Structure 1
Amino acid sequence: MPRALGLTRVAIVEDHLLFAESLEVALSLEGHDVHRVPLDEGMSSSALLTALLRAQARIVLLDLDLGEAGSGVRLVQPLVRSGAAVVVVTGDSDRARWGECLVYGARTVLDKASSLNTILATIRRVGEGRALMTREERDALVHHFHNEKRSDHETRLRLEALTPREQEVLGHLMLGHAVRDIARTFVVSEATVRTQVKSILSKLEVSSQLAAVGAANAVRWRPPQQQTWA
């Protein structure tokens, strides 16, 4: 027999203890059956997912930045598949990341700065089977995600177009090494390194070393193992 609305089982996954406790108290006062899943030291993402599935919650309030357990985004899809309604509550303002959660099945995304009343009202709407977002809001966030995904793919293609030498140089730039230091490492002239840097900027379609490093970091690119220049 399904639980009555007031006895909805809600799981909380939140790495800020005070915020998690506030949610737990507020939801309990509303009559919900609240289960706060602790983020134990060294807890892996898979262990956290197992704990959440065991909780058998109807609704999961999920943070996105979970310390050692990693990103909450990867938990959305398996939780939704288990039958849980996932409501993301995050301090991350990255709209593309919000859209990714929606693509994976989250019912809505709330800013952590939202009032407790807003979060409680959202839980009530889930229990009542009501829509949590307008079609326009959802589509706009999903559009952010797809745009960023496409942009990341294009950046990776540009990175792959770098020669092995250029990849090595970019790797050193990502470590904060100056042109002079890179030249000394590979026993070449600074002019040679500057030529390589210029080519890197051109291929990545950016105007500065800082922007090149930022582009590589944004897609979590890492250079191949350093090799000695011929």
Structure 2
Amino acid sequence: MPPTPRSDLRIVIVEDHVLFAESLELALFVEGYDVRRIPVPDSPGSPGALLASIVRVRPRVVLLDLDLGGFGDGVRLIRAIAESGANVVVVTGDPDRARWGEAVRAGARKVLSKSRPLTDIMATVRRINQGLPVMDTAEREELLREWHTTRSAQQALRERLALLTVRESEVLGHLMKGRAVRDIAGIGVVSEATVRTQVKSILAKLEVSSQLAAVGMANEIGWRAPTPS
């Protein structure tokens, strides 16, 4: 299939950082592309409305950020955009290559760092328009491997956290809020010795040697203590 004339190649930018979005939009406009910017909601919610706004304009290429401010994670948009027929190119400031792998797994054609020159984005768009590959097999496999390794490690953490009793989970929740053993004992109306025993059990089950490490583990996977009944 011959390349589409630039004026007919529609590009959508989904980016909450206004200065970067405007710079990207201007650069693409100067290159002669039909470029449009889709407003990103500033509050979390279902991606349905934003997806509809993107798909409605039938873009050939969507330049998508992963961190969309208050709206949340851009990864959850990728699969539906790709299934609509658009080529998703992620442009992100996040250096986490496991997250890049997650984006590729969801259907992104390419992931680019915002620290790269805008010419790299232009070159990627140009190659897509010419029907050329934008990611080689080695890069794709490396990113997917990063994603799989991180996912497996996080699953192992979740399994350890699932070993905690309800009371131990509550204690860990207090530790995550920076509360000392004395404060936790007062809240639970138990002795400090009891809380120390519970903390010791938490560390053993999580296979860590300090309260700080336990808190770090819980934060790493976004774990939250159960709400007391």
TM-score calculated relative to the size of structure 1: 0.93
Find the aligned partners of 1:3 and 1:126 in 2 and give their Cα distance: 9
SS at match of 1:12: strand
Counterparts in 2 of 1:128 and 1:77: CA distance versus 1, 3 Å = same
Q: Which segments of 5 or more consecutive residues in structure 2 lack a partner in the other structure?
A: none
Deviation, 1:41, is: 4.0
Deviation, 1:221, is: 1.6
SS at match of 2:127: helix
Find the aligned partners of 2:89 and 2:161 in 1 and give their Cα distance: 36
Contact (CA 8 Å) 1:48, 1:69: kept in 2 or not?
A: no
CA offsets per residue over residues 151-199 of structure 1, 9 Å max, x none? 1111111111111111111111112111110011122222221111111
Residue aligning to 1:20? 21
Find the aligned partners of 1:70 and 1:51 in 2 and give their Cα distance: 17
TM-score calculated relative to the size of structure 2: 0.94
The two structures, once aligned, show a CA RMSD in angstroms of: 1.7
Counterparts in 2 of 1:69 and 1:207: CA distance versus 1, 3 Å = same
Find the aligned partners of 1:3 and 1:57 in 2 and give their Cα distance: 15
Structure 2 counterpart of 1:151, from 141, 150, 153: 153
Deviation, 1:43, is: 7.0
Matched AA of 1:142: L
Moved over 3 A (4+): 40-44
What does 1:1-230 align with in structure 2 at a 5 Å threshold?
4-6=4-6, 7-42=8-43, 44=45, 45-226=47-228
Deviation, 1:206, is: 1.6
SS at match of 2:144: helix
CA offsets per residue over residues 94-120 of structure 1, 9 Å max, x none? 111100000011001000011011110
